[in-house]
Amino acid sequence: MGDLEFLPAWYTRKLRRRRVLAVCGAVAVLIVAILALTMSR
């Protein structure tokens, strides 16, 4: 029965990690785009 108390914290942590991954992915795409623009010149 302890899993029911542990689930919400694990779920919110998973959502927070997904948001961090989304931000990191956006930053990575931005850096790659800037590198591609600077290298194409």
Average pLDDT, rounded, for the chain: 84
pLDDT in tens, 1-13: 556 666 677 778 8
In a domain, 21, yes or no: yes
pLDDT at 40: 84
Averaged pLDDT for residues 31-37: 96
| Structural domain containing residue 34 | 9-40
Residue 17 in domain = yes
3 is a domain residue: no
Our count of domains for the chain comes to 1
The tokens for 2 are 């302890």
Output the DSSP codes for 13-38: HHHHHHHHHHHHHHHHHHHHHHHHHH
Please check the confidence at residue 17 and state whether its pLDDT lies above 60: yes
